[in-house]
Amino acid sequence: MAALARWLFRAEPASPGSPIHRSNLAFLLALAFIALLTFVIFPARKVSVVADGVARIVASHQGTDAAIIHQAGVVLDRGDAVSHQRGRNGGEVLLVDRATPVMAEASGRLLYWRTQAETVGGALAEIGVSLDDGDRVLVNGVASSPRDSLVPLPARMVSRALTLAGVTVPDPITPQQALTITVRRAVPFTVWEDGHSLDLRSAAPSLSLALTENGILLGPGDAVFPDPDTPLSAGLSAEVSHADQVNVLLPEGTTILHTRKAIVGDALAEAGIPLSPLDRVEPDRAAPVSNGTYVRVTRVSVGSVVEHSDIPFKTVFRSDPDLAWGATRRTEGQNGVDAREYDVTSENGQEVGRTLVREWTEVEPQDAVVYYSGAPAAAAAGMPDDLQVVNVMHVYATWYNPASAGKPRSSPGYGMTSTGVPVSKGIVAVDPSVIPYGTRMYIPGYGFGEAADCGGGVKGNMIDLGYPDGVDANWSSHYTDIYILG
């Protein structure tokens, strides 16, 4: 209609009142009437154009989406998509979905384009870039998978929802913010792992990252050649030797070693664990090392120890002719000292055995001497002079016979001692805890006797001298010295 009006206005002017002038005027009036009728019958469309996070409302009679968007002042770029939506109040919405600007570097090529692809792999497929095993993809320097979203979907969805709700938000990615996709092609390399050859591929920048990417993990004590930080290149050959873990049980605690030594002794030496020739190692120092081996170290030492013990002195009895009858004299004795040297074996500080090396007497004992009345005094008392006296005791001496023992003559035990011999002269009842049975003695005024009986009233330093029935007991109870014979 506007073109027709321009054609009419370019026509030659007619004189007033001419037929041509009148027909033009009528046509213009008809045209104006038609336009007015069009605005009345077909009012302008109210459309909300949402682009770049901004909603613009326009009233338009334009028939195409592109014309309406242009009327709204929005410029469409290559790859942008337009979709129809319904707004919050049911109004018509034209949503401009901007294509994502992408710059890709792959196989030595640098490409720039705009895409509606939702995934990294989809974007690469648009430019004919395929990925092989081991290839790495970086989006803005971050490792990504071909299945990853090119633009995070949650951010895009939230942006659109808020925009449709009438809230102005910035678009997740503006046209000026191009994504950079870098494709690093995997290269082949070889790894000799503990003597086994592996042909691998990786796009990692360094050998250590390539090993990790292929599941070869490096632990303490592992050896890698060349250096793990070596840049990865096609055809690189690397050697990896894994260390074995050895658990060493020491007296002071458990130590964990990581070693590539073949035998136990070398592994302990490498770790700086000292061993003496006597130390015991289980398994043996020459045993092979395997991962998880347990090694027990027992510290063994041998030392010399000297121990001393007393030698008790003896008491001897000697006669002294100068002593009065019944008198004694004593010189004190002194213990001697024995010495013994041992080789003592200890394990982890605890003694487990000893061996006697030698023994000797460091100090000789000195006997104690008890002097008793010598020959003249003993002879005066009727004591033989050829007796071997070993002790002199001062006791209270009484006498008894079978009749005074308290048993009737009809008793089977009448006249019998506790040792089973009949009472007669020379039988002496004693306290066996003081004078043992069988002890021979000489009692001045009574003669020789032997401890062969006991009695309920005979306690401590007391003796009871035996007489047979019918014999006159020429003894009166009193204290006296008795001579214990050897």
What residue ranges do the domains of the chain occupy?
2-41, 45-97, 100-184, 187-241, 246-291, 303-369, 387-485
pLDDT band at 9 (very low <50, low <70, confident <90, very high): very low
21, pLDDT greater than 60: no
pLDDT band at 32 (very low <50, low <70, confident <90, very high): low
Distance (Å, whole) CA 459 – CA 391: 19
380, pLDDT greater than 70: no
pLDDT band at 155 (very low <50, low <70, confident <90, very high): very low
Tell me the percentage of the chain whose pLDDT exceeds 70.
83
316, pLDDT greater than 50: yes
Q: For residues 176 and 225, is the Cβ–Cβ distance under 8 A? A: no
75 φ/ψ angles, rounded to the nearest 5 degrees: -100, 125
87, pLDDT greater than 80: no
Q: pLDDT (tens digit, 9 = 90+) per residue, 246-283?
A: 999 999 999 999 999 999 999 999 999 999 999 999 99
100-184 and 387-485 share one CATH topology? no
CATH node for 187-241:
3.10.20
Mean pLDDT, residues 88-100 taken together = 83
- Residue 171 has what pLDDT? 45
Nearest to 122, CA basis, from 152, 146, 98: 146
- Residue 4 has what pLDDT? 42
CATH node for 303-369:
2.20.230.10
- Residue 405 has what pLDDT? 82
156, pLDDT greater than 70: no
Residue 272 in tokens: 């700086």
- Is 387-485 a CATH 3.40.50.300 domain? no
Q: pLDDT (tens digit, 9 = 90+) per residue, 467-484?
A: 999 888 889 999 998 888
- Residue 291 has what pLDDT? 93
User: Domain 100-184 is of which CATH architecture?
Assistant: Roll (3.10)
End-to-end CA distance of the chain: 165
448, pLDDT greater than 80: yes
433, pLDDT greater than 50: yes
Residue 182, beta-bridge partner list: 105, 138
pLDDT band at 201 (very low <50, low <70, confident <90, very high): very high
- Residue 254 has what pLDDT? 95
- Residue 310 has what pLDDT? 95
List, in sequence order, the alpha helices (H) in 53-131: 65-71, 120-126
- Mean pLDDT across the chain, nearest whole number? 84
Helix 2-10 and helix 19-41, axial crossing angle in degrees, nearest 10: 160
Q: Which of 31-35, 67-71, 234-238 has the highest mean pLDDT?
A: 234-238
